[in-house]
Amino acid sequence: MPATVVLGTQWGDEGKGKFTDLLASDVDFVVRYQGGHNAGHTIVIGEDRFALQLVPTGILNSHVIPVIGNGVVIDPKVLLDEVEVLSSRGVDTSRLIISGAAHLIMPYHQELDRLTERYLGKNKLGTTKRGIGPAYADKASRIGIRVQDLLDEKIFSQKLEVVLKEKNQILAKVYNRLPLDESKILSDYFDVYAPKLAPMISDTVGILHRAYKKGQEILLEGAQATFLDLDHGTYPFVTSSNPTAGGACTGSGLGPRQIDRVIGVAKAYLTRVGAGPFPTELEGDVADLLVERGFEFGTNTGRKRRTGWFDLVLLRQAVALNSVSEIAITKLDILDVFPEILVATQYEVDGERTSDLPYHQSDFHKARPVYKSFEGWMEDLTKVTTKEELPYNARTYLSFLEEQLEVPITLVGTGPERDQFVSFR
Ligand code: IMP
């Protein structure tokens, strides 16, 4: 059975978790393919709120095998804490499997993430300070320590000795910090984390290919989003992995021809955390209302998100970059109280209008949105579950997006609960 990818089409926090959770009820495997605990998915089931960072969303569906793929970077303490919390709330976590090729986030990664941000001063990226960038940098430099190294203390300690020598030099000589204690790291990783993680470590690539051959359904779950992609995002204000659909292949080991459905999740307005260009960014009362109604604060970091109107220039590019085959719109109900809703259809750069994303970063910073205005529906959508019940103005807004993106909208979120959505399929 070909696999499905669910990914974010904007700057993250589109509400992917809710639809991933919904889709997970029909699949056999849910695979996280990139990122680390910089991600945060909130799922609401009845009275329960689950905030997941590393464990794939599918963990909440008892028939699903959740997989952390090779493209993910793992902080073992965070993962084990998350597993423990889920277990204590009655969730069966024994099905979780982790790729031996995924990389470990080490204490020096977190330390260096914090220090580099401070060093950059006003040019800082606004990272989550979780060590994500430094861990991927070590992976690319081929000095990363992988999950499979937890299965062999000798190899692990040999690798740690070499890499820590260099990191401690940097900490001491560049940042004037105390060196990290090798024996403390070894004892945390070997005495505490390795015994608990060892039973979950596996050949996830082999498992997924065998599942594919048997006709089982695989859902590949993206974290962050298209414009935080290391290659296609608003560099350098990006994360250090590839949330785009190509990353779903490299980060899971499935090939491109094994994927036939790409669901692009887009919030009905825009948000961004951290620094970087944002042409439709709002300030003042409208921004405050979006933050308040959408509860736009980071799931993990608590940071207030920047807000703006929906941007078709970004979305058209996201559809192209990811071969998006269908769109899921989230949080449409947040717009219920706005008498006027704007959508950017083009940018103006140096007096010239363009429908394309500026390829040069300086032009992106200068881009001013060209808006189309829509009359708001001014009705409560939170109980709407069918297309017919959607107010005329809401349908007009959605039809315009669909027509502009040339991709069908198949799902529309109308509230945080699992059952608050409209299916257009
Ligand atoms: P990093 O991923 O911690 O290195 O942060 C790089 C950039 O990506 C920063 O602007 C973060 O705010 C942003 N970012 C990372 N993870 C997420 C996420 O899950 N949602 C939204 N933004 C994110």
Q: What is the pLDDT of residues 327-374, one digit of tens each?
A: 999 999 999 999 999 999 999 999 999 999 999 999 999 999 999 999
- Model pLDDT for residues 154-164, shown as the tens digit of each residue: 999 999 999 99
Tell me, what's the pLDDT at 223? 95
Question: Phi-psi bin for 198: left (phi > 0), alpha (psi -120 to 50), beta?
Answer: alpha
Tell me, what's the pLDDT at 42? 74
Q: Is 126 in the pocket of ligand 1 (CB under 6 A)?
A: yes
Q: How confident is the model at residue 45 (pLDDT cuts 50, 70, 90)?
A: low
Q: How confident is the model at residue 84 (pLDDT cuts 50, 70, 90)?
A: very high
Alpha carbon nearest to ligand 1 atom 8, residue: 239
CB atoms within 10 A of CB 270: 27
**Closest CA relative to residue 200, chosen from 95, 101, 105, 60:** 95
- Model pLDDT for residues 292-301, shown as the tens digit of each residue: 999 999 877 7
Calculate the average pLDDT of the chain: 95
Cα 340 to ligand 1 centroid, rounded to whole Å: 30
- Model pLDDT for residues 164-221, shown as the tens digit of each residue: 999 999 999 999 999 999 999 999 999 999 999 999 999 999 999 999 999 999 999 9
The DSSP secondary structure of 105-133, one letter per residue, reads P-HHHHHHHHHHHHHHGGG-----SSSHH
- Model pLDDT for residues 212-239, shown as the tens digit of each residue: 999 999 999 999 999 999 999 999 999 9
Q: How confident is the model at residue 51 (pLDDT cuts 50, 70, 90)?
A: confident
Tell me, what's the pLDDT at 40? 82
Tell me, what's the pLDDT at 244? 98
Q: Provide the CA 329 distance to its chain's centre, in angstroms.
A: 16
Q: How confident is the model at residue 417 (pLDDT cuts 50, 70, 90)?
A: confident
Q: Between these two residues, 325 and 20, which has the higher pLDDT value?
A: 325
Q: Is 228 in the pocket of ligand 1 (CB under 6 A)?
A: yes
Q: What percent of the chain has pLDDT above 90?
A: 88
Quote the CA–CA distance of 421 and 413 in Å, as a whole number.
4
pLDDT of residue 17 exceeding 90: no
| E strand spans, 100-173 | 103-104
- CB 82 within 8 Å of CB 266: no
pLDDT of residue 46 exceeding 80: no
Burial of residue 214 (number of CB atoms within 10 Å: 0-12, 13-18, 19+): exposed
Q: Given the residues 37, 41, 103, 109, select the one marked as catalytic.
A: 41
Q: Is 280 in the pocket of ligand 1 (CB under 6 A)?
A: no
Helix, strand, coil percentages for the chain (3-state, nearest 5) = 40, 20, 35
| Alpha helices (runs of H) in 350-391, residue ranges in sequence order | 361-366
Tell me, what's the pLDDT at 299? 73
Tokens at residue 251, please? 């980060």
Q: What is the pTM of this model?
A: 0.95
Q: Is 32 in the pocket of ligand 1 (CB under 6 A)?
A: no
Q: What percent of the chain has pLDDT above 70?
A: 99
Catalytic site includes residue 28: no
Tokens at residue 289, please? 């209302």
